[in-house]
Structure formats: structure tokens, C-alpha cells
Structure 1
């Protein structure tokens, strides 16, 4: 029997598999252990991981990363308001008072 573990960080993700002989890190399609925790949206395509990180400089307003800082918080929380200055993407207040990430996709 194998067990899969997922480490979602603010900037990178790592996946590990525990088997009888120990723990193995799962490599991404570039052969790396770590994958950027990022999603980038263009007019007609979505990029994930390394591809998103490479397109982020050309499309910062539609590149989402470090959202772990927002999970479980209210939009008006002082820490969230301080973190909003760090993000290149737009965040607004959702109908439930939580943060709502705004990107353009399939327009």
C-alpha cells in the first residue's frame, strides 16, 4: 500500500509517495521535485506550475500565486489588507465577506 502526501506552500508544491522502502518525491514534467504554486490565465489558455511562472512576467494581473495567505480569512482582515499590496492580481470582497480573486479568462 502507498500513501501520497501533498505539501502546498506559498511559493512551491511538493508531492511525496510513502511506500515500503521509504518516501519518494514525485518529479514534475521538468524532472524537478518542486513545482511553482501558481496559475496564470491568458485570453484562451490556463497555465499551471512552471509554465505559469514563466508567463507571469508578461501577464502579472492574471497570474495568481501565494493565495495560501488568503485562505480562511476575511477580506477586511488587517493582515489581508496588508498582503493585498504584495499581489499583482486584483482581489475584491466576495458576497460572503471573504477574498475574491479576479482574473480575465476566456473573454
Structure 2
């Protein structure tokens, strides 16, 4: 499932091959933008990549998030099992990068 959305002037591009992104995960992506906006007002785009590999006990899930800002973009990735928890983690990692670049 891939989808694009415009939220508060920020273009959201979500790529999740072979996975459906639930409404609660989409709401968390929007909440991530709200949280990131507190640290920079210049967000142009947010790209989120969901990836699941393997099956059963060897399955791994990964989220990557790229925040498009003037200058170099910031990117963070997280592996785990809970999509919403991983989204919060990559959001916090990107915030730390934005703060460091100030």
C-alpha cells in the first residue's frame, strides 16, 4: 500500500509494499508531523517507509522516516515489532538530528 497525503502543508509519502497501513498508524504519522513542527517550521515533506521481511519467528519489521527540510534532510530508521512505537522512536531520533543541526 502506497499513499500520498498533504497535511498542514507537508507532503506525506508512505510506502509500504505488501502491507496495509491502518488508520491508527496514519494518525500517528500526522502526530509525528505535529511533534516535528515544534522543532522546525520548514518541513516540506515526510517520507515513511514500512518494510516487513521474513516470516514467523525470523520476521523483521523496519520503519524509515525522512524529513524534508531546507538543507540536508534528516533520516532515521528503527527495527522492532510495534509500528506505532517504532514511529515514535524514529520521530524522536529525527528531532535530535534537527536540534543538533540548529
Structure index of larger Rg: 1
Q: Same fold (TM over 0.5)?
A: no
TM (normalized to structure 2)?
Answer: 0.29
Higher helix share: 2
